[in-house]
Structure 1
Amino acid sequence: MDELKDAVKRKMSFAQTMRAVLWSFIGLRKGAEHERDMTRLNPVHVVIAGVIAAAVFIAVLIVIVRMVVSQAAG
């Protein structure tokens, strides 16, 4: 339980966490950066950033599909 409390108190900002999550989505993370971030990222921020990034990704896909379908129908 103490490990979880310590993890939540980590110092990286939400913006830095979002950047790390977005790079991870793309798959362009260096091994050294990944290892360094794992000791500094707040796990709560990682979960929130992951959900936000996934929602934005799905929304972009929906917009692209709607544009393509409307072009094909019209």
Structure 2
Amino acid sequence: MEDKPKEQPHRRKASFLATMKAVFWSFFGVRKRRDYEDDAANLNPVHVIIAGLIGAALFIGVLLLAVRFAVSQ
């Protein structure tokens, strides 16, 4: 029997702030292919989901504030 070293799972290196930045630019649809590939290799999927939910909540909040401001005038 050969003793093969077990492969370590790929550890994601990007911070949560880097994930928020990637999600922010993705909301606008402005991502270079190279940046997208770097994100796919380095971002933690759980962080992406959380950042997406935070981004969506902020977007909805800004829309609600804009509507309230427009209606109050």
Task: Give the structure with the higher percent helix.
Answer: 1
Pairwise CA RMSD: 1.1
5+ residue gaps, structure 1: 1-5
Q: Give TM-score, length-normalised by structure 2.
A: 0.84
Residue 65 (structure 2) aligns with: 63
Q: Which runs of 4+ in 1 moved over 2 A?
A: none
Aligned AA (1:47): I
Between the two proteins, the alignment pairs up a number of residues equal to 65
5+ residue gaps, structure 2: 1-8
Q: Give TM-score, length-normalised by structure 1.
A: 0.83
Percent identity, aligned pairs only, is 57
For each residue in 1:15-65, what CA deviation from the matched residue of structure 2 results, as whole angstroms up to 9, or x when unmatched? 000000000001110011101110100000000000000000000000000
